[in-house]
Amino acid sequence: IQLTQSPSSLSASVGDRVTITCRASQGISSYLAWYQQKPGKAPKLLIYAASTLQSGVPSRFSGSGSGTDFTLTISSLQPEDFATYYCQQLNSYPTFGQGTRLEIK
Amino acid sequence: EVQLVESGGGLVQPGGSLRLSCAASGFTFSSYSMNWVRQAPGKGLEWVSYISSSSSTIYYADSVKGRFTISRDNAKNSLYLQMNSLRDEDTAVYYCARVLTTVSDWGQGTLVTVSS
């Protein structure tokens, strides 16, 4: 199963609302997770089951979608949110989207 | 607290071999499937291999099939990746990861550099 993220990069300002999309090559129900990764660090789980916020993750992060189309939304960007974001599906084994690099405008 | 600690990375020449290990603690290792995921410098995450809890089901990415072998020792709470016929494009940080529908735990990664 292939995952296609868009955009591949995004420039935004603190306080902006941003949306990242992830499209699966076939239906995956709600088996979709979103990760944040900062340089030199392992990925951090933000959202699982398409829309469930991982414990400790700020509520400005939200996810939606099912089937083949999914979105990650950050309602009001904070300085610590500038990072790379990945979607990941879990059919039998995990595969990842190509990533979205979120940069400061 | 779940901990996954990778080891075994280093510099190896093209065509060489390396064995990565991952020591797991903080959960019942024998009950969970495990994965290796890698990240080449400046690139995205690439799933490498999957092994079920009992080792009965194993998958590999096409890019490593026939060259890499995943295994586990549930008595030692350890996951392994034997990497043979290494290529320049295998240069990456290799992560051991427990990835489930509601849980995702990762190690800190171990760097493998393939270069002459």
Q: Which one is predicted more confidently, A92 or A51?
A: A51
Average the pLDDT over each of A59-63, A78-82, B13-17, B99-103 and give the range with the smallest value: B99-103
CA–CA gap between residue A41 and residue B65 (Å, rounded): 27
Residue of B47, B101, B107 with shortest CB distance to A31? B101
pLDDT averaged per 10 residues, chain B (length 116): 97 98 97 97 97 97 98 98 98 96 93 97
| Confidence (pLDDT) at B1 | 94
pLDDT higher than threshold 90 for residue A105: no
Residue of A42, A48, A93 with shortest CB distance to B35? A93
CA distance B48 to chain A (A): 9
Q: Which of residues 45-84 of B touch A (CB under 8 A)?
A: 45-47, 50, 59
pLDDT confidence tier of residue A92, bands split at 50, 70 and 90: confident
pLDDT confidence tier of residue A93, bands split at 50, 70 and 90: confident
Any idea which residue has 């529908």 for tokens? B101
- Taking all residues of chain A, what is their mean pLDDT, rounded to a whole number? 95
Give me the percent of chain A exceeding a pLDDT of 90: 92
Burial of A40-77, coded b for 16+ CB within 10 Å and e otherwise, reads eebbbbbbbebbebbeebeeebbbebeebebbbebeeb
CA–CA gap between residue B53 and residue B56 (Å, rounded): 8
How many CB pairs (< 8 A) connect A and B?
A: 52
Q: Which residues contact B9 (CB under 8 A, 6 or more apart)?
A: B18, B20, B94, B110, B111, B112, B113
Average pLDDT on A57-83 reads 97
Dihedral, CA of residue B48, residue B110, residue A47 and residue A82, to nearest 10: -120
pLDDT higher than threshold 90 for residue A81: yes
B14 preceded by a cis bond (ω within 30 of 0): no
| Confidence (pLDDT) at B21 | 98
Q: By three-state DSSP, how is residue B57 classified?
A: coil
